Structure formats: C-alpha cells, structure tokens
C-alpha cells in the first residue's frame, strides 16, 4: 500500500478564457490541462485530491469595442466590472460543474490584475502541493510577442509546477489564440 | 467518479547517486522527488500508476582516486565499467525495493552518457505521461557552474515535467553536493 496522508493533495489550476471571438468559453489550454490532471493524476481517487481553480481577470484592452455605452460616469465603470465579474464566474462554473460530475472536491475564486504575478502570490498564500498551468506551446518567435504566463510561473512559483501543452491538433488558425 | 483510463499513469523518474563521499546512496534530491511522487500523486492508488526509474551513469571524473588499480589494459576499463554498473544497480535496487513495499508497479534501467541528453531521448522512446526530476534548488550563481539537468529537461523533454526541489533543511554543508 502506498503511503497515505490524511490530507488530500491540493492542486491549484490557473484557468483563463478563450481569446477566440464569439466564444465566451474556457481556453483550449485550460481545458487540456484540466482533462490531463483528472485523467492522469486524480484518476479514480477523487477523494485523495482537491482542485483549486484560480482565474485572474485582466483589465480588457478591447473594452471600448465590446461595450455599447460610453464611459461617462463612475456607474459605467461599475457596470463594466460587473460584466467582467459575471464572465469570470461563468468560466469557473464550467470547471466546478465538471468536478462535481467527477466527485472531485474543489473550490474556485477570481482575482484581478496581472496573471503571472497574481498566480505566484496566490501560490504563496494558498500553499498548494502542485500548480498546473496550461500552455499554448508557442514557438520562441511567437513567445517573444505574447509572453508566457506558464514560463514565468514554472520559474517563480513557490511549489512544484506542471505545464501542460495544448495539443498541436487543437490549435486554432492563429496559434496565439486559445 | 473521476474519469478512469484502463492504462496506468506512467511516471518516469530520473534518479542519481549521492555526490557526498563515502555515501554510496541515492541523492537527497532523488529521494525527495520519489517521496513526493508517492505521497502526493500515487497516494493510496498504487495500481493506477507505474514508476519508470532511469539512472544515467556519467563517466566518473574521479575514477583514478576511487580505483585501487592502474589503467594498463582494456581489462582494467572493463573492470571499471563492471564496478560502475554494479553501483548503478544498487541505486535502482533502492527505489525498486521501496516500490515493492508500497505495491507500486515499477521498472528500472541504466543508460550511460550525458544525463540531460539521455533523459530527453529516453522520454522520446518510452513516452511516459509525466517526467519527475529532483533538483538541488541551487541559486543562480551556483547554477552557472554546475549546470542543472532539471532545467534542461523542463525545457526540452517531450512530456509534462515536474521539478521537485530538495528541502533547504536537507541541503548538505556544500549545497552543490547532493
């Protein structure tokens, strides 16, 4: 019998939205990382694990395009934040629902700011056993322009990190999309 | 119930010897990585996993000091290789015995050459679901001089990689030792 600790293994997963327009959905790499974690680590031992979903919202650069109103008062900004918040909740709901289907204990929360910095500070605070991050698996040329959250976390997070690359067959027409 | 594949999750572990003289033993970081894998991933689900231990033997730079004979004929080199081979087997025996205690299926083998290159080529050949490597957790200054196999593998191995850092409390007087 393998050594058995009473505490479940706490796996933190950083998840984000798809960048493909008209598709308000979990990104391909977030879903790939989640499916890999369940199939390869959790397996049939759902009670041995606890998944902690963190979604970091980035202030939306295209907000003016997406909105049908002009920012003229503090209330307009309040509405925008409210929209963002709802969008983030829908994203987390997707993963929490799947966990409930699989009977894997989980929790989920949203932070706002720079994803790479916030993921690392949340690791410090929450102290998971493992951090799983998805990656688009971009080549060196593409990486220079978009930066990669996964590389930063693998280097700076205060816990073991697994990076799960998106399958090449799942890549959208523009591989920078996800 | 979490999704359950019929095939066990195959975790490859690169293990090496202690560099501390007079201590012909698994390195501290190899043992730390193994213990973490069993406690945090395998847990009580021994049948769901298969551990694949790879030990890469590096031609020993201190061979002249360690040997009580002079290299004078091809047979002398044959003896050295034989000694190295036995040493590597003792190392693998340590991990295989622990797996048997825990009832975790495993296999183990030895390759000779450059560890970082061979670990990556064995990943290509064996196609594990996950590679676990131990790391001494050296600072940037120490890393420049000793190189780190774990960093190379995290970048170049064709599968997800977890790097498990040695606990600071376990570091020997010279942190480059292991």
Tens of pLDDT, residue by residue over A111-140, are: 989 999 999 999 999 999 999 999 887 776
CA dist A59 and B30 (Å) reads 43
CA dist A24 and A41 (Å) reads 28
pLDDT of B165 higher than 80: yes
Q: What is the pLDDT of residue A66?
A: 46
Q: What is the pLDDT of residue A77?
A: 65
CA dist A117 and B68 (Å) reads 55
CA dist B19 and B178 (Å) reads 5
pLDDT of A87 higher than 90: no
> Would you state the structure tokens that stand for residue A20, as one six-digit string?
């493909």
Q: What is the pLDDT of residue A21?
A: 57
Interface of A with B in 33-72 (CB under 8 A): 36, 38-46, 48
- Considering only CA atoms, which of B176, B172, B174 is closest in space to residue B138? B176
Check the CA dihedral B165-B9-B154-A155 and report its sign: negative
Gap from A92 CA to chain B (nearest CA, Å): 18
pLDDT of B9 higher than 90: yes
Contacts of B152 (CB under 8 A, 6+ apart): B116, B120
Cβ distance B5 to A154 less than 8 Å, yes or no, reads: no
CA dist A42 and B25 (Å) reads 32
Higher pLDDT, A40 or B6: A40
Whole-model pTM over 0.95: no
Number of other residues whose CB lies within 10 A of the CB of residue A135: 21
Q: Where on the phi/psi map is residue A26: left (φ > 0), alpha (ψ -120 to 50), or beta?
A: beta
Q: What is the pLDDT of residue B85?
A: 66
User: What band does A70 get if pLDDT is binned at 50, 70 and 90?
Assistant: low
Strands B161-165 and B130-135: parallel
A103 interfaces chain B, CB cutoff of 8 Å: yes
Alpha helix locations (H) across chain A?
A: 28-36, 63-66, 74-102, 115-126, 140-146, 149-156
CB B57 within 8 A of CB B112: yes
Q: What is the pLDDT of residue B129?
A: 97
Of B45, B102, B104, Cβ closest to residue A45: B45
pLDDT of B65 higher than 90: no
pLDDT of B51 higher than 80: yes
CA atoms within 13 A on the CB side of A178: 22
Cβ distance B104 to A46 less than 8 Å, yes or no, reads: no
CA dist B38 and A4 (Å) reads 9
* Mean pLDDT score of chain B: 83
Q: Between helices A28-36 and A74-102, what is the axis angle to 10°?
A: 30
């Amino acid at each position: 019998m393998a050594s058995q600790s009473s505490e479940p293994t706490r796996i933190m997963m950083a998840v984000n939205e798809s960048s493909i327009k008209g598709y308000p959905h979990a990104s391909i790499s977030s879903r790939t990382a989640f499916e890999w974690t369940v199939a390869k680590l959790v397996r049939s031992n759902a009670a041995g694990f606890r998944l902690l979903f963190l979604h970091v919202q980035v202030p939306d650069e295209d907000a003016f395009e997406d909105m049908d109103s002009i920012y003229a008062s503090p209330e307009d900004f309040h509405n925008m934040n409210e929209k963002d918040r709802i969008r983030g909740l829908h994203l987390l709901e997707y993963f929490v629902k799947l966990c409930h289907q699989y009977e894997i204990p989980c929790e989920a929360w949203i932070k706002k700011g720079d994803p790479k910095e916030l993921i690392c500070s949340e690791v410090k605070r929450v102290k998971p056993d493992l951090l799983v991050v998805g990656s688009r698996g971009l080549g060196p040329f593409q990486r220079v322009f978009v930066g990669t959250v996964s590389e930063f976390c693998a280097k700076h997070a205060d816990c073991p990190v697994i990076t799960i690359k998106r399958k090449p067959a799942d890549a959208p027409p523009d591989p920078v999309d996800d």
